[in-house]
Structure 1
Amino acid sequence: MRVLLNSILIILIGFLSSTYSLKLSPIDYKGSIEIETPKDTSTLNLNIENNNKILLNPESIVIKHISQEVEIIKNYNNNIFTASIYQDDKLMRDNINDLELVSITPSDTEFTITKDNPMITTMDISQKNLDLDDGTYKIIFSSNLINNLDNSSISIQVTYDTGGSYVSALNSALPNTKGLTLYFTTENRDILIPVTRFVVEDKSLTRMAIEQLQNGPTNINMKTVVGDVSNCTYNNGNILIDLPSSYLQYNNSSTEGLLSYQAFIKSIFAVDRYWPIYNISFTVDRKEIENYFYGINNLKNLPNEENNYLIYLAYKINDRYYLFDSKVDMKKSGITDNDMLEIKAQKLFDVYSNTDLSYARSPVPKNIKLQNTKIEGSTLILDFNDEFLNSYKGKNDLRSMMVESLIYTFTTIPTIDSLKITVNSKPLTNFIKDKDLSGILIPPEFINPETVY
């Protein structure tokens, strides 16, 4: 019996010490990180390409994992780095993933890092991808491959400055002129932008408005969508515009048709600052029509109604910003008729952050918070946090853009015709050079002056 036990023991020892492979149950290593070099002797470190840690308007950044010794990385996932973003030592966003521009495939899941063969990762840190407003930030990248906290992260300073200037709206027309607000489209024909042109009155203002639309914008990167017009008559506040059927562009496509229709309507109704205008009707070849502009119905006696719940966003053309109005999606905004005015104002402000247009930007930085709202008669008081005072430092024109956007936007709430801005319940003072913003603010009459005066 003893001999048999000893024989079994010898066989087991020989088997366990042999090089035979053992088939084990499969294990899911997805998302795990395995570094063959012992943790206490790992020399993995981080390095930024060209060692440039101060960047202006970057699109991407290259970070290298380097090592003085041979290290093998296995079973790492796509998120090699996580990022945190700070502004003025205040944490803005944390645990940001999926910045890598190149996805890692299963065949890439083993990488040998040596002194001459670093692991290179390119990450998208564009302003659009990170959804950041203009400003200076510190971005900290933390490697998920390095266990030693002393060398597992690296930071950079990034400034996003989209440039551009803004021409403030005017409250009065130039001497001996009338201000016509004309609506032109962009090269991409994505929106209509209001532009105020000052002209000497020499005929009917409605005819002048159409003539100026036909003349087109002075900015070569804008386009007019108003061409031939047979006649325009004004009769006690009723406007009749007759179009020639020979001009096919009005009825050529849904985009062109809608833009042309809106350019007529908005530009003519804007004349009501001088003349009463109650409605607009369209005819073609002097005949009434039920459908035109590629599918628009009801083209008779279109009423001059208030446009409620608009938000004013910024569109950049060349190096200049223009404000334009965008209709708020009432369902998405959550605004209802039963909401108190203060609640409507808060929901309308939230639209600034929730609006995502590829061709436009919100004039209000995302770190600005609306702390409180209050109604005094027909004046809405908006109280903001300290970040309001830090926005657009050194750029009075862009500060004007933000303030004017707020004024235009919130006076589209029914019964609200003026605005007052406070910061931590204190009047807004010394925010824009040579402008007193501490009192009641009303919408400026002439938006986006075409020429800088």
Structure 2
Amino acid sequence: MKIFSNILIIALIGLFSSTYLFNLSPIDYRGTIEIETPVEESALRLTTEKQELLNPESITIKHESENEEVLKSVADSIFTVSVYKGNVPVKENIKNLELVSPSSNMTISIDSANPMVTTLDISQKKLGLEDGTYNFVFSSNLIASKENESVSVNVTYDTAGTYFPASKAAQSGKKGLTLYFATPNADTLIPVTRFVVEDKSLTRMAIEQLQNGPESGSLRTVIGDVTNTTYNNGNVVIDIPSSYESYNNGSTGGLLSYEAFKKTIFSVKRYWPIYSLSFTVDRKSVDSYFHGIDNVTSLPYAKNNYVLYMSYKVDGRYYLFDYKIDTQQAGISETDAPELKAQKMFDAYKDTDIPYGINPIPESVILKSAAMQGTTLVLDFTDSLMNAYNGKNDLRQMMIDSFSYTFTTIPGISSIRITVEGEALKNYVEGIDLTGILYAPEFINPENTTQTNN
């Protein structure tokens, strides 16, 4: 047995020491094994210094990373830009805005101390955009991460717009009559306060001033012939002649005339009690007039609630005007607490889409909370408010005036106070103290801007 074992061992030694080739397997396993080298996750991101821009010619955007990274581009444009107004796209997938065109085979190394800096032309002329506030979204084709590939900036184009603040008091020796004039396209009515010397019945003076028309070359009056205006113990009767057919022809003209009469007369309430307004035609009562408006014989005064004060630009000037919101669409219920109503009213600024109106509140402004202190509504904003309309005192005042008018149309709110991150609003509008309680100014859009008293 031992002899047999020795023979077997010798045979095996001979076999493995021979030059005979063996193919142990027809399979090449090298192609089935993947060797991974750990790669540090990219930290590449976009940054820009400002989130709010006013009339910019260009914007500088940086590609930054804490790690050392090599960027490669095979395109002739680094950024793709989309422009939105509210949530509505205005222009999409805009390319080739770089002031220096990148190479289509560009390679660049960046690290924490050496970002890649790109300047893009976003001038109003280059993009062909109208005046207004837009949200720009800049997307980089050098970043794979969806989370970090884009950055957004709010841009306001205001070529020649100036806002003249509302006035708290009338000019010395005069009364302020708020008159309602139509926009150039008859979109809406713009309130304009004219200061006049009282020399007759204020209601009659208000109608006469409406007939005289605005000082602005583009606004226009929709009030023509009026036979008589009488005031009797708070009840006003306006008699109009049937021969003046413009009041009753066309739904738009008829409605604007009716609203101009009504709003102008009811604004006299700051001086005289006004309980109702009636219309007669050729000194006779009518069931309806102004192209189908009913109940024109006795229109009671009623406070206009839930009104947004939007802005309108004409002849290089911004005017605030009232726009009654659809409370159902805004989700406002009478059972809501005033704080909740205020939040919904603020949201309505951004959700209200009217082609002729401009939202006076930049998209980036965020209302953090609302709270009641007696009948004063405290509006606390994030520090985004401090960046709004940077360098434009008049537009900042327009926003504050809009807040004062808008939120005091919520029942139970008589005034507002504005804070930022819980702190009083200081040094926001040059020369104006905004740290205390703010009431809606009495005289909106003063016509004579050289003699207003704030």
Kindly provide the CA deviation profile for residues 210-246 of structure 1, in whole angstroms up to 9, marking residues without a partner as x. Answer: 0000000000100000000000000000001000000
Displacement of 1:291: 1.1
Alpha-carbon distance between aligned partners in 1 of 2:132 and 2:246, rounded to the nearest angstrom: 40
Over 3 Å counting, the alpha-carbon distance change for 1:233 and 1:399 in structure 2 is same
Deviation at 1:313, TM superposition (A): 0.4
Distance 1:157 1:418, change over 3 A: closer
**Residue matched to 2:281:** 284
Check 1:147–1:391 CA distance in 2 against 1; reply closer, same or farther (3 A cut): closer
CA distance in 1, matches of 2:326, 2:151: 40
> For 2:363 and 2:154, how far apart are their aligned partners in 1?
17
Match of 2:259 in 1: 262
The change in CA–CA distance for 1:148 and 1:292 in structure 2 (over 3 A counts) is: closer
> Does the C-alpha gap of structure 1 residues 56 and 267 become closer, same or farther in structure 2, counting only changes over 3 Å?
closer
Q: Distance in 2 between matches of 1:193 and 1:245?
A: 26
CA deviation profile, 1:305-362 (whole Å, cap 9, x unmatched): 0000000000000210000000011111000011111111100000011112221111
Is 1:405 the counterpart of 2:398? The answer is no
Residues 96 and 258 (structure 1), Cα distance of their counterparts in 2 relative to 1, 3 Å cut:
closer
- CA positional deviation for 1:98: 3.7
1:24-43 equivalences under 5 Å are none
Aligned position for 2:370: 373
Please name the residue that 1:428 is paired with: 425
Contact 1:57/1:126 (<8 A) preserved: no
Number of matched pairs: 350
Is 2:385 the counterpart of 1:392?
no
Report the Cα offset of residue 301 of structure 1: 1.6
In 2 relative to 1, CA 125–204 (structure 1 residues): closer, same or farther, beyond 3 Å?
Answer: same
Q: 1:132 matched to which residue of 2? A: 134
Alignment check: 8 A CA contact 1:82 1:96 kept? no
- The residue that corresponds to 2:93 in the other structure is 99
Q: 1:192 aligns to what?
A: 189
Task: State the alpha-carbon separation in 2 of the partners of residues 198 and 340 from structure 1.
Answer: 38
Q: Structure 2 vs 1, CA of residues 412 and 437 (structure 1 numbering), >3 Å: closer, same or farther?
A: same
- Asked if 1 retains the 8 angstrom alpha-carbon contact of 2:82 and 2:93, the reply is no
Residue 416 in structure 1 maps to residue 385 in structure 2: no
Counterpart code for 2:134 = L
Shift of 1:161: 2.8
Is 2:226 the counterpart of 1:229?
A: yes
1:58 CA drift (Å)? 7.7
Please tell me whether the aligned partners of residues 338 and 412 of structure 2 are also in contact (alpha carbons under 8 angstroms): no
> Match of 1:175, as an amino acid?
S
Which gives a bigger RCO, structure 1 or 2 (Cα 8 Å, sep 6+)?
A: 2
Cα offset for 1:160? Answer: 3.8
1:146-199 alpha-carbon deviations (Å, 9 max, x no partner)? 8999xxx99999964314110011111111110000000011000000000000
Residue number among 308, 330, 334 corresponding to 2:331 in the alignment: 334
- Partners of 2:131 and 2:158 within 8 A in 1: no
Cα gap change, 1:131 to 1:194, in 2 (>3 Å) = closer
- Of 155, 158, 167, the match for 1:162: 158
Query: Equivalent residue of 1:343, what SS?
Result: helix
Say whether residues 1:218 and 2:212 are aligned partners: no
- TM score, norm. by length of structure 1: 0.70
* Structure 1 residue 99: Cα displacement: 3.0
**1:303 and 2:308 correspond:** no
CA distance in 2, matches of 1:190, 1:267: 18
CA 1:267–1:142 in 2, change beyond 3 Å: closer, same or farther? same
Q: Secondary structure at the match of 2:134?
A: coil
TM-score (norm 2): 0.70
> Residue by residue, what CA displacement relative to the aligned partner does 1:76-96 show, whole Å, maximum 9, x if unpaired?
xxxx974489xxxxxx99x99
The Cα shift of 1:140 comes to: 3.5
Is residue 324 of structure 1 aligned with residue 321 of structure 2?
Answer: yes
2:199 paired with 1:202 = yes
- 1:37 maps to none
C-alpha distance after superposition, 1:105-160 (max 9, x if no partner): xxxxxxxx99xxxxxxx999565699626xxx7x64434xx8999xxx99999964
Deviates more, 1:351-360 or 1:198-207: 351-360
Equivalent residue, structure 2, for 1:104: none
User: Deviating runs (4+, > 4 A) in structure 1?
Assistant: 54-59, 122-131, 146-149, 153-159
- Note closer, same or farther for the CA distance 1:181–1:174 as it changes in structure 2 (3 Å cut): same
Instruction: Point out where structure 1 has 5 or more consecutive residues left out of the alignment.
Output: 1-53, 60-70, 74-79, 86-91, 102-112, 115-121
The answer to whether the Cα contact below 8 Å between 1:182 and 1:267 also exists between their aligned partners in 2 is yes
C-alpha distance in 2 between matches for 1:306 and 1:318: 31
- Identify if the C-alpha distance between structure 1 residues 339 and 206 changes in structure 2 by more than 3 Å, giving closer, same or farther: same
- Which residue number corresponds to residue 293 of structure 1? 290
Please say if residues 79 and 138 of structure 2, whose CA atoms lie closer than 8 Å, have aligned partners that are also in contact.
no
Shift in alpha-carbon separation, 1:377–1:99, aligned structure 2, 3 A:
same
| CA pair 157-250 structure 1, distance change in 2 beyond 3 A | closer
- Measured on the aligned residues, the alpha-carbon RMSD in Å equals 3.6
Secondary structure class of the residue paired with 2:93: coil
Within 2, Cα distance between the matches of 1:258 and 1:162? Answer: 31
Maintained 8 Å contact 2:234/2:273: yes
Residues 41-73 of structure 1 show CA distances to partners (whole Å, capped at 9, x for unaligned) of xxxxxxxxxxxxx995689xxxxxxxxxxx999
Change beyond 3 A, Cα 1:72–1:131 = closer
Aligned partners of 2:153, 2:365: CA distance in 1, in Å? 21
SS, match of residue 257 in structure 2: helix
| 2:239 and 2:282 in contact (8 A); partners too | yes
2:12 aligned partner: none
1 CA distance for matches of 2:150 and 2:260?
A: 52
Distance 1:403 1:240, change over 3 A: same
Q: Percent identical across equivalent pairs?
A: 50
Asked if the contact 1:58–1:126 (Cα under 8 Å) also holds between the matched residues in 2, the reply is: no
Structure 2 counterpart of 1:76: none
What amino acid sits opposite 1:377 in the alignment?
A: G
Instruction: Rate the CA distance shift 1:158–1:364 in 2: closer, same or farther, 3 A.
Output: closer
Which residue identity does 1:283 align to in structure 2? T
CA contact (8 A) 1:81 1:97 kept: no
If you compute each CA radius of gyration, which structure gives the higher value, 1 or 2? 2
